[in-house]
Chains A and B, each alone.
Chain A
Amino acid sequence: MNKTINFRGVKFPNPTVLASGILGVTGDSFKNVVRNGAGGVTSKSVWLERHEGHPGPVMMGTEHFYINAVGLPDGGIEKAKEELGKYLEWKERAPLIGNIVAGKIDDFENIAGQMQEIGPDIIEVNISCPNVEDEFGRPFACSTVDAGSVTKVVKKIVKNIPVIVKLSPNVANIGEIAKACEANGADGLTVANTFGPGMIIDIDTAEPILSNKVGGVSGPGIKPLAVKRVWDTASAVKIPIIGMGGVLTGRDVIEFMMAGASLVGIGAGVYYRGAEIFEEVNEEIDEWMKEQGVKELSDIVGKAVRK
């Protein structure tokens, strides 16, 4: 049985990838996640400069959903150099995806260039955080023009490693936006960021609970929605996809792969099963492969879409 996934020339030992913003503050934290079985790790979104997050509460969950509005806190690219730098020696074991964010389209060039210098295997461009908006109050990922422009700016400077763009699921036309990124040179897509935004209100005080009032929704409740976004994207483009959204089990990973994902991100799953989720999910994938007689896991990518 082989679970290795070749994603634009980058070899992942298994399809599970730590999603951006989870356990991603320090280099040693990435190593801990990889010791727990992750096939790859994604950094938190890195800004050029220090960026404060929101006050608490910033995230919480129930058995049905997870909701967060952390506000992309970050120490900036200088801190990333130290922390991601510490992880580089482990790249062979599990590749590193450096996630970048910026508030203006032009700023993506500088941060992308500096992230490339650090030396991750892949750069993931976050254009879909609900906290970062264009002049019309929309994330860049909600406009085909903006999504294409950001992709173009990053591709202009990042020449040696694949660039993938993390899309928002909160659009009616994810296929079109995916095509705009592909046409501007994206090497892959991450589908997708959190849904919403959503809100939770405490009924004893009539107060929204998140300090930011609204937050992105993830966790088990959004999984069928996310699978559909991956399916729609895979039907629209040829470039490979990292699928994610409510993945808790090995069977969930396989479902996303059949919808067209080559790799599968795990984020909120860490809330439900701890960092140990990676090893457990991989064991569950092994069981399924054995049961079904699947020898090469990459063969199932897009299997449901191709029918």
Chain B
Amino acid sequence: MNDIPKILKVAEVRTENPTVKTYVFRGYDLGATPGQFVNVWIPRVNEKPFSVAYCDDKEFWLTIAAVGPFSKKIHDEIKVGSKLGVRGPYGHGYTVPSKKHIALLAGGYGAAPMYFLAHEAVKNGCKVEFIVGARSKDLLLYTDRIEKMEGVKLHVATNDGSVGEKGFNTVILQKLIDGGSIDMVATCGPEIMMKGAMDICEKAGVPIEVSIERYMKCGSGVCGNCCVDGLGVPVCKKGPVMSGEMARKIDGLAKWHRDSVGMKIVW
């Protein structure tokens, strides 16, 4: 066992949209599966968890939205050739099915890890319905990449109707499920959206996997900061990806999470 950070150089930086960039690391076999995450360390600043947006034996990507002081610092200061500490991968990821018809439901930044899952599922002979939702067109993520994928059909919903269907992406999921041929669903995005998807899937008897985000520190199931109520388990270890059945046992699902000292924060 050893989870001391590895220092890796950024090989490429891609601007995805006004608030999101993808950092590519090459020549390192991270060994992550879709849904797993890494802790990224900037010496003398901080360390934060980020989900893996793509990984093979030669490279991996982290797609990072500038939402807080740490991610803004990454956007402002990390360039090609910059060094970052990386440790992980942590947690367990999504089931990668074989030869199934699956629907992936991504809300906002959730499109990045869902892209990784789509990539692996297609390799396993799956037919993929990829539903992406965002508040508006400029916030959509990864749609250009998804459109070009063989075996993947892109569906888009925006809250303001600036592109795709107007409204929630769960409406598209409902239609696909009603079609009767979806074998399983995986989702990543705001908890309220994932909860909506769980409700749709439970009614239809379709299995679903969700990714639960909580304030994480150690990544190893030790510090306890990411323990969810009800289940009492640390999601860095027993998640972040879990079945809808398990997620339903979380007290406060889509209602509250906890901050860096464990105080409840209502969503």
Digitize B206-247: 1 where CB-to-A-CB distance is under 8 Å, 0 elsewhere.
000000000001101111110111111110010000000000
Determine whether B7 belongs to the interface, using a CB cutoff of 8 Å to chain A.
yes
Say yes or no: A26-B47 contact (C-beta < 8 A), given A52-B260, A58-B217, A205-B83: no
Determine whether B27 belongs to the interface, using a CB cutoff of 8 Å to chain A.
no
A254 to chain B, nearest CB (A): 24
Choice from B47, B232, B261 contacting A29 with Cβ under 8 Å: B232
**B4 with A29: CB separation less than 8 A:** no
**Among the listed stretches A107-115, A170-178, A266-274, A299-307, which one makes contact with chain B, having 4 or more residues with CB under 8 Å of it?**
A266-274
Chain A CB within 10 Å — which of B2, B3, B217, B222 has the most? B222
Q: Hey, which chain A residues are within 8 Å of B218, CB to CB?
A: 58-60, 271
B87 to chain A, nearest CB (A): 7
**A270 with B222: CB separation less than 8 A:** yes
Say yes or no: A79-B223 contact (C-beta < 8 A), given A56-B41, A59-B217, A205-B43: no
Residues 34-70 of B at the A interface (beta carbon under 8 Å): 39, 41, 43-48
Q: Hey, which chain A residues are within 8 Å of B232, CB to CB?
A: 26, 28-33, 35
**Among the listed stretches A69-77, A119-127, A156-164, which one makes contact with chain B, having 4 or more residues with CB under 8 Å of it?**
A69-77
Determine whether A103 belongs to the interface, using a CB cutoff of 8 Å to chain B.
no
Q: Hey, which chain B residues are within 8 Å of A291, CB to CB?
A: none
**B217 with A209: CB separation less than 8 A:** no
Q: Hey, which chain A residues are within 8 Å of B1, CB to CB?
A: 61-63, 271-272
Determine whether A51 belongs to the interface, using a CB cutoff of 8 Å to chain B.
yes
**A57 with B262: CB separation less than 8 A:** no
Q: Hey, which chain B residues are within 8 Å of A57, CB to CB?
A: 5, 39, 41, 47, 85, 87
Residues 186-206 of A at the B interface (beta carbon under 8 Å): 200, 202, 204-205
**B234 with A79: CB separation less than 8 A:** no
**B229 with A28: CB separation less than 8 A:** yes
Query: Chain B at the A interface: mostly helix, strand, loop or mixed?
Result: loop
**B231 with A205: CB separation less than 8 A:** no
Q: Hey, which chain A residues are within 8 Å of B47, CB to CB?
A: 55-58, 211
Q: Hey, which chain A residues are within 8 Å of B87, CB to CB?
A: 57, 60
Q: Hey, which chain B residues are within 8 Å of A204, CB to CB?
A: 7, 83
Choice from B2, B46, B222 contacting A22 with Cβ under 8 Å: B222
**A200 with B4: CB separation less than 8 A:** yes
Digitize A203-235: 1 where CB-to-B-CB distance is under 8 Å, 0 elsewhere.
011010101000000000000000000000000
Q: Hey, which chain A residues are within 8 Å of B263, CB to CB?
A: 50, 75, 79
B2 to chain A, nearest CB (A): 5
Determine whether A181 belongs to the interface, using a CB cutoff of 8 Å to chain B.
no
Query: How far, in whole Å, are A66 and B231 apart by their CA atoms in the complex?
Result: 26
**B221 with A275: CB separation less than 8 A:** yes
Digitize A17-32: 1 where CB-to-B-CB distance is under 8 Å, 0 elsewhere.
0000111111011111
**A28 with B224: CB separation less than 8 A:** no
Q: Hey, which chain A residues are within 8 Å of B221, CB to CB?
A: 23, 270-271, 274-275
**A202 with B227: CB separation less than 8 A:** no
Residues 40-95 of A at the B interface (beta carbon under 8 Å): 44, 50-53, 55-63, 66, 70, 73-75, 79, 83
Query: How far, in whole Å, are A26 and B85 apart by their CA atoms in the complex?
Result: 30
Determine whether B258 belongs to the interface, using a CB cutoff of 8 Å to chain A.
yes
B117 to chain A, nearest CB (A): 25
**B262 with A74: CB separation less than 8 A:** yes
Determine whether B251 belongs to the interface, using a CB cutoff of 8 Å to chain A.
yes
**A25 with B224: CB separation less than 8 A:** yes
Say yes or no: A28-B4 contact (C-beta < 8 A), given A59-B222, A61-B220: no
Choice from B5, B225, B237, B262 contacting A202 with Cβ under 8 Å: B5
Residues 247-264 of B at the A interface (beta carbon under 8 Å): 251, 258, 260-263
Choice from A26, A56, A271 contacting B217 with Cβ under 8 Å: A56
Choice from A55, A63, A79, A268 contacting B262 with Cβ under 8 Å: A79
Q: Hey, which chain A residues are within 8 Å of B224, CB to CB?
A: 22-26, 29, 44
Query: How far, in whole Å, are A57 and B49 apart by their CA atoms in the complex?
Result: 11
Query: How far, in whole Å, are A51 and B263 apart by their CA atoms in the complex?
Result: 11
Residue of A nearest to B83 (CB): A205
Choice from B43, B217, B251 contacting A28 with Cβ under 8 Å: B251
Q: Hey, which chain B residues are within 8 Å of A32, CB to CB?
A: 227, 231-233
Say yes or no: A53-B237 contact (C-beta < 8 A), given A25-B224, A59-B217, A63-B2: no
A221 to chain B, nearest CB (A): 13
Q: Hey, which chain B residues are within 8 Å of A70, CB to CB?
A: 217, 223
Q: List 23 A-B contacts (CB under 8 A).
A: A23-B234, A25-B227, A28-B230, A28-B251, A29-B233, A52-B261, A56-B41, A58-B47, A59-B217, A60-B3, A61-B1, A61-B220, A62-B3, A63-B2, A73-B262, A79-B261, A79-B262, A202-B4, A202-B43, A204-B7, A205-B43, A207-B43, A268-B222
By a beta-carbon cutoff of 8 Å, the part of chain B in contact with chain A is 1-5, 7, 39, 41, 43-48, 83, 85, 87, 217-218, 220-225, 227-234, 237, 251, 258, 260-263
